Each structure stands twice: as structure tokens, then as C-alpha cells.
Amino acid sequence: MDTVRIVESASTAQIFYEPKHPYNQALQKSIPALHEKGETLHTIPGSTPDLSKPISGCPFAPRCEFAQEKCVTSTIAPKEIADGHFSACLRIQLKEIDLTPAHLPEKALARKINY
Ligand code: SF4
């Protein structure tokens, strides 16, 4: 979730091993337990949106490394992009970006567990 919007919905395995939203992916890259000791953790730039003002388009756009103009100008609803896997990322929905599996930390992939 980001700014009280659900940005991705799926099974636990899909969420962790096949993330389909840059916010979910960025959060996972920031989990200390998925990295080696001393390894630099990923940080999400910027700060959370000001909820006192209306948000146009994707609420994660100011902080997203994949953001484009259309992310801010479009109304984006969650869409099923695989069996039971919903994403509110416009560029994932348009198949313009693919987050799996190379963007996950190696340690996360090595620990893959069947749920
Ligand atoms: S819709 Fe655009 S800004 Fe939002 S997460 Fe997807 S790529 Fe990033």
C-alpha cells in the first residue's frame, strides 16, 4: 500500500518473488534480512506524499525510478496482470517494464521458499 491505496495484490510467493509494482520492489530491496551484513541497503528517495493535497496519477511517481509523464496524468486502477496477481503500476500493466527476477536481491532469490 502507498497513501492508503493498494498497489499490488497477490499470493505471498508472488509478492516476494515476482513483484509487479516498483514500490513493493523498492521495499524489498530495503529489507535488512535479505542482505549480507555490511551491505548497503537500498533507500527510496524523497518522502511520502502530502495527503492534505489531491494526488494526480500514481502516488509513488515522485519517488519511482521508472516514472514517466503518463504515470502522473493517468488514472490508474489495479489490473490483473497474471493469475490472481493485481498491480496498480501503469507501466507494468502496459508491459513496458519487468521487475522480475533480476531486480531482487540475490539473497532473496536464494531463500526462495515454496508457499
Ligand atoms: S505507475 Fe509509473 S510511477 Fe507508478 S509505480 Fe508504475 S512506473 Fe512507477
Over residues 12-36, mean pLDDT: 87
CA of 38 to the centre of ligand 1 (A): 30
Q: Which residue did the predictor score with more confidence, 42 or 91?
A: 91
Per-residue pLDDT at 30: 86
Q: Given this model, what pLDDT does residue 31 score?
A: 83
Quick one: pLDDT band at residue 113, thresholds 50, 70, 90? low
Mean pLDDT of 13-39: 86
pLDDT bucket at 110, cuts 50 / 70 / 90? low
Strand boundaries in the chain, DSSP class E: 8-9, 79-82, 85-87
Residue count of the chain, please give it. 115
Report the separation in Å between the CA atom of 103 and the middle of ligand 1, taken as the mean of its atom positions. Answer: 16
User: Which pLDDT does position 115 carry in this prediction?
Assistant: 45
Atom number, ligand 1, closest to the C-alpha of residue 90: 1
Q: Which residues line ligand 1 (CB under 6 A)?
A: 21-22, 58, 60-61, 64, 66-67, 71, 76, 89-91
> For residue 1, which of 99, 90, 87, 95 has the smallest C-alpha distance?
87
32 preceded by a cis bond (ω within 30 of 0): no
Instruction: Tell which atom from ligand 1 comes closest to the C-alpha of 72.
Output: 3
C-alpha 76/C-alpha 90 separation (Å) is 6
Judge whether 88 and 7 are in contact, CB under 8 Å: yes
The predicted model scores a pTM of: 0.85
- Our CA angle for 23, 24, 28, nearest 5°, is 115
Cell 513496458 identifies what position?
A: 96
Measured distance CA(33)–CA(92) in Å, rounded: 27
CA of 100 to the centre of ligand 1 (A): 15
Higher pLDDT, 92 or 12: 92
Q: What is the mean pLDDT of residues 63-83?
A: 96
Q: How far apart are CA 97 and CA 68, in angstroms?
A: 12
Q: Does the structure show a pLDDT above 90 at 44?
A: yes
Provide the grid cell at 9: 495484490
